[in-house]
Amino acid sequence: METKAIIETEELTKIYNGQVAVDHLSFQVKEGEIFGFLGPNGAGKTTTLLMLLGLTEPTSGRARVAGIDPTREPVKVKRVVGYLQEHMGFYRDLNARQMLRFIAELNAIPADQAEERIERALKTVGLLEEAEKKIQAYSRGMRQRLGIAEILVKEPKIAFLDEPTIGLDPDATNRMLELIQQLCQEKHMTILLSSHLLYQVQRICHRIGIMINGRMVAQGPMEQLAAEKFGVDGEQHTLEEIYMKYFQEA
């Protein structure tokens, strides 16, 4: 049975001051999958995520996220999506626990349930010991972990993770990848993950989209993309090799 699309765009386009950032982009993310969103710097990945969140308006085309049009109902879409940003803006004067309480309140999570989730999230990301420390004193990796803790507290249906392992040490990276898989398997969360770390993407993503110059040049399971570029020998190739082939031929 085909799983239905939970994220869908049709000819989605964003032009900034005459420059095309996202160019008639059509793609689908299926419910419950981890979708690897790849592409070189400036390809339009973050811009696409911003349009899917209703944080920037498309120039043309349309998008649906969990059945919601993010342009028309930006508040509603933010309720169902958790967003780990490329550059995180925290309320730096708060400590981690206060920040997570604030997130819980914003999402109308009942207080007792919130406290439980916050403790669990802090523990999962390894911030329990630093939970009373002001965020402004956090290292980059600690901020990244806090961003993930926010998603664990919110437990959204869909998560957009823009470079989730940036700044994490190797052990934290491994735990992050396992956690993403867990969220998918246990909470049935749909995950749209943008990353340049292709080995990591290869490890955890079910399907992959490659965006170049604002266009999706390929989308599908890795084996399919491999077969498209390398034929029957496809399975011997790494995602890095597959990606480079698409990139060079674009």
Under the rule (CB under 5 A), what is the footprint of Mg ion? 45-46, 86
Q: Is 42 in the site for ligand ATP (CB under 6 A)?
A: yes
For the sheet containing 19-30, what is the strand order? 19-30, 5-16, 60-65
Alpha-carbon distance 178 to 148, whole Å?
13
Q: Which is nearer to Mg ion, 86 or 132 (CB)?
A: 86
Q: Which is nearer to ligand ATP, 131 or 191 (CB)?
A: 191
Q: Is 45 in the site for ligand ATP (CB under 6 A)?
A: yes
99 binds, among Mg ion, ligand ATP, none (CB under 5 to 8 A by kind): none
Task: DSSP for 162-208, please give it.
Answer: ESTTTT--HHHHHHHHHHHHHHHHHH--EEEEE-S-HHHHHHH-SEE
* Distance in Å, CB of 47 to Mg ion, minimum: 8
* Distance in Å, CB of 184 to ligand ATP, minimum: 23
* Distance in Å, CB of 164 to ligand ATP, minimum: 13
Give the x-and-dash track for 74-93 against ligand ATP (CB under 6 A).
------------x-------
Contact stretch for ligand ATP (CB under 6 A) within 44-52, 91-99, 106-114, 143-151: 44-52
* Distance in Å, CB of 123 to ligand ATP, minimum: 31
Pairing of β 60-65 and β 5-16: antiparallel
Backbone angles phi, psi at 123, to 5 degrees: -65, -45
Which helix (H) or strand (E) segment is 114 a member of?
A: helix 111-124
Q: Which is nearer to ligand ATP, 21 or 226 (CB)?
A: 21
Q: Which is nearer to ligand ATP, 173 or 213 (CB)?
A: 213
Q: Is 43 in the site for ligand ATP (CB under 6 A)?
A: yes
Residue 180: C-alpha distances to residues 74, 103, 176, 187, 248 (Å): 25, 20, 6, 10, 30
In this structure, the dihedral spanned by the alpha carbons of residues 198, 202, 207 and 213, taken in order and rounded to 10 degrees, is: 10
